[in-house]
Structure 1
Amino acid sequence: MQTVISADGTRIAYEQYGEGPPLILLHGGSSPEYWKPIVPHFAEDYTVVVPHRRGVGESGDSDEYRLERGVEDVRAVIDAVEGTPLLFGHSFGGLLAIEVARKASVQKLIAYEPAILVDDYRDQADLAAQMQERINDGDRREAMKFYIREVMHGGEIDDLESWLAEWPPWPEIVALTENIARINRAIEQYQLPDALEIDAPVLLLTGTAGPPHLRDGIRAVDAALSSSQFVEFDDVGHGGPTEAPERIIAKVRGFIDEEETPVPESGY
């Protein structure tokens, strides 16, 4: 485990594996463990760097949180590694990756269903408030179930309890309830600009079984970029890289290994 000091003095931890050009993997609402099954697929050819989000894992925390703090944390990690990195973010990590790439030099950017709300989804967003209400009532477990139902399943799942019984992060992820509520406040406050200026090739990924609000969000990101590659994977949900690792890793490897890689729009 290595650490770096972010702009506000908070200690940010990051894991590092392998050797080669730096590939930074940014996790979403869960924990750095999300990337554990993915790391070996890249560590033979890349220096894989997995930061721990502020307040998660071995990283320090702060009393307040804004999206800008998360961007500063990632930039501190970028400054600590050798070489211009590739960024691969999932969910909230995808949003962070996009915002970092607007301000810092990166080789390429990959985002799987970045946590970006648009149109009515943003106007009506109250996930953080509903989570906080359950937290205030002393039921962190129900707050986390609400988050999982709404974010990972788009509010549509017949038997959440059975699904949770098979989901590896459960119930340990309940410990992150407050942290996840606050990043959702940051997500709800974020407004996607009409035009995104990113001076690097961009690959946007989604699954046909992903939540509608995030699928709308990633299409809006695609429209805001002057150039990007957009791929959707049949029958894959928000879990993405951990649900269909072979398909998604193959597409990501093709994108980052080639100078120019044409990517069809669907059918994976």
Structure 2
Amino acid sequence: MPTVTSPDGTRIAYERHGDGPPLVLLHGGLTRRYWDPLVPRFADDHTVILPDRRGRGESGDGEDYSIEREVADARAVVEAVEGTPVLFGHSFGGLQAIEAARVAPVAGVVAYEPAYLVDDYRETADLAARMQARLDAGERREATKLHLREVLRDDIEDFDAWLDEWPVWPAPVDHVENTLRMNRALEAHPLPDAFDVDAPVLLLTGSEGPAHLRESVRAVHDALPESRLVEFEGVGHSGPTEAPERTAEAVREFLADLTPTPAR
């Protein structure tokens, strides 16, 4: 599997599929496998690049963690691909894509509910502390459930029963420590008043996810100099896997509007 080395020495592994202008898919939770339903929808027309975030999948990890290091990882991937890529990120990967576009040349950005915390929700955010308390008690599954309920479905009374039907469960438990450190960093990471992003941005959201994420994507929309916002009716936070064809259609339309950029 190809790898790049991030500035702090961490090895970031990635897959490559297809041929054409580069499209880098940045996952949120779990690993690069999150994107499996979407890869065939783009690989005929694009070189699809799938990195694993640090500490997940086939990538290495560093002793110190920060959002800046995750952004540096994405930039290292951008600089390794041939051509100027479009970045497509989900959740934390959406934030990673937007932040990377501030420091690296990209042709465009797509972000599904990027994980910025805004307004009253950010002022009272304590998910990291609640997860830490569960981990300190040796309750890894319960710590993971706290995160998933916060970001997936906060409107379900019997969340345990819903999780039992969720195909991905209990795989997120394997990454709970990394998810905790991510949440701690996000709680300290403010949304800027304005983003210095030169590339066009497509923001995606669903009507059924947690309210704080729908508020966040609109705040990001307001802070960007050039962005388009599309909402999918009846879809939650995991829109790219809940509705892959609707997601792919919106992204393909956005990609078609971009001016092709020659390889570097």
Aligning the two structures, in what range does the TM-score lie when normalised by the shorter sequence?
A: over 0.9
Query: Contact 2:28–2:93 at 8 Å: present in 1 too?
Result: yes
User: Percentage identity across aligned positions?
Assistant: 61
How many residues end up aligned between the 2 structures? 259
> What does residue 60 of structure 1 align with?
60
Matched, 1:248 2:255: no
Cα distance between partner residues in 2 of 1:121 and 1:165: 28
Amino acid at match of 2:190: Q
Q: Deviations over 1:51-102 (max 9, x none)?
A: 1000000111112210000011011111111110000000000000010011
Q: Tell me the amino acid that sits aligned with residue 112 of structure 1.
A: Y
Residue equivalent to 2:108:
108
When the two chains are superposed, the root-mean-square deviation of aligned CA atoms in Å is 1.1
Match of 1:130 in 2: 130
Offset at residue 111 of structure 1 (A): 0.3
Q: Secondary structure at the match of 2:87?
A: strand
**Match in the other structure for 2:85:** 85
The residue aligned with 2:94 is: 94
SS, match of residue 221 in structure 2: helix
Q: Which residue of 2 aligns with 1:179?
A: 178
Give the SS at the match of 2:208.
coil
CA–CA distance in structure 1, aligned partners of residues 30 and 70 of structure 2: 15
1:192, CA displacement in angstroms? 0.8
SS in 1 for 2:45: coil
Letter aligned with residue 212 of structure 1: A
Q: Partners of 2:174 and 2:183 in 1: how far apart?
A: 16
Tell me which stretches of 4 or more aligned residues in structure 1 moved more than 6 Å: none
Whole-angstrom distance in 1 between the partners of 2:62 and 2:163: 30
Cα drift, residue 179 of structure 1: 0.5
Displacement, 1:213? 0.7
Q: What does 1:23-62 align with in structure 2 at a 5 Å threshold?
A: 23-62=23-62
Which residue does the alignment assign to 1:149?
A: 149
Could you tell which deviates more after superposition, 158-167 or 87-96?
158-167
**Are the aligned partners of 2:29 and 2:172 in contact in 1 as well (CA < 8 Å)?**
no
Between 1:122-131 and 1:156-165, the stretch displaced more is: 156-165
Aligned partners of 1:92 and 1:114 also within 8 Å: yes
Q: Give the corresponding residue for 1:224.
A: 223
CA deviations on 1:134-161 (whole Å, 9 max, x unpaired) are 01110100000111111111x3212222
Structure 1 gap segments, 5+ residues each = 261-268
1:259/1:84 CA distance change after superposition, 3 Å: closer
Contact 1:150 1:156 in 2 (8 A): no
CA distance in 1, matches of 2:6, 2:57: 16
Secondary structure of 2:102's partner? helix
Distance 2:209 2:109 in 1: 20
Tell me the equivalent position of 2:76: 76
Q: Which runs of 5+ in 2 are unaligned?
A: 260-264
